[in-house]
Amino acid sequence: MRTAHVVYDNRKAGLLTELEDGRFKFQYDSDYLKINKPHYQLRINFGLELQKEPYYSDSMFIEFENLLPEGQFREKLCHAQGLDVNDSMGLLVIYGAGMPDGLIVAGDIKKALR
């Protein structure tokens, strides 16, 4: 089982987990859900509304897949780490990914928090 920390606006927002059966799980952090702000300001994506219950997917959530490089750059990164080119979770755990809006995903929480 591999995990990656999800940080939004420099707050730990949740945990992305690759389960033993190959499915993926995302769950918002309970402390993050307690922040006193409108929900539209806290959700990390329209497809992942704020909720206590975890989200499950048979493939990598598109909200996180879209953070990763494609094409030759992805191939080079995977080759450098001995990863399969389709190993999105491996890329997130090893390299992390981020967006200018403050969404960061990384295997190490220290790398994700600024």
pLDDT of residue 100: 61
Percent of the chain with pLDDT over 70: 91
Residue 105 is predicted with a pLDDT of 85
pTM over 0.75: yes
Q: Provide the residue range defining the domain that includes 50.
A: 2-67+97-107
- The whole-number average pLDDT for the span 61-90 is 91
Whether residue 35 has pLDDT greater than 80: yes
DSSP-H helix ranges across the chain: 30-33, 39-42, 62-65, 71-81, 88-94, 109-112
Q: Which pLDDT score is estimated for 66?
A: 86
**Residue 51 within a domain:** yes
Counting the structural domains of the chain, the total is 1
Q: Is residue 80 part of a domain?
A: no
Using CA atoms, how far apart are residues 20 and 97, in angstroms rounded to an integer? 23
Distance set, CA 1 to CA 12, 59, 79, 94, 110 (Å): 20, 15, 22, 14, 20
